[in-house]
Structure 1
């Protein structure tokens, strides 16, 4: 059986999982190809009783029409390209997950979304 990654959570300023409120709704957002670990993070929060949705940014531009009701875009200096986030619910606090500090420094989504930020430093557990 494959072992699931374990996490150490490093917060930026005071924004970390510990500061979350049980009565608030959250959307966890993975960035680019870094989506599996944020999904597991969202799953863990949900198992702890938080109201969680999960989304991730993507590189494909889409036209707002039919199923696409809203679009947020930004240029990511670290990946040298545009990233998009579609249909983000307005009634939820965003928790934006980054893989490392460099990604945090280069991606402006945190400011655009006024998001709580978590850097997920993953490693495989031997236990």
Structure 2
């Protein structure tokens, strides 16, 4: 199996869509996983770059994934939109997130600590 260097994750309430690609952008896998399956999958997957759109829950997942050895980057949704190739759906979003995160000039959102998130509420 080819080495996955980046995983784009589209977070949703029930199911997460993953898009795994090599450093060259070749698609290695596309998966749809529940929250529980997602965590188990990521614990077993070798450390790599994981990208998600910045949202309320993405900060929790970013901290969790960083603790198990992944490099996590959050991207503002407005910077992901230009990378959508097809109609908007979870699979296309995950691919666009991976594509956006692979760009050297992309600007990322800092992961918030639980304390900072509490202050915002």
Q: TM-score under structure 2 normalisation?
A: 0.37
Higher relative contact order (CA 8 A, sep 6+): 1
More strand by share: 1
More helix by share: 2
Bigger radius of gyration among the two: 1
Q: TM-score under structure 1 normalisation?
A: 0.36
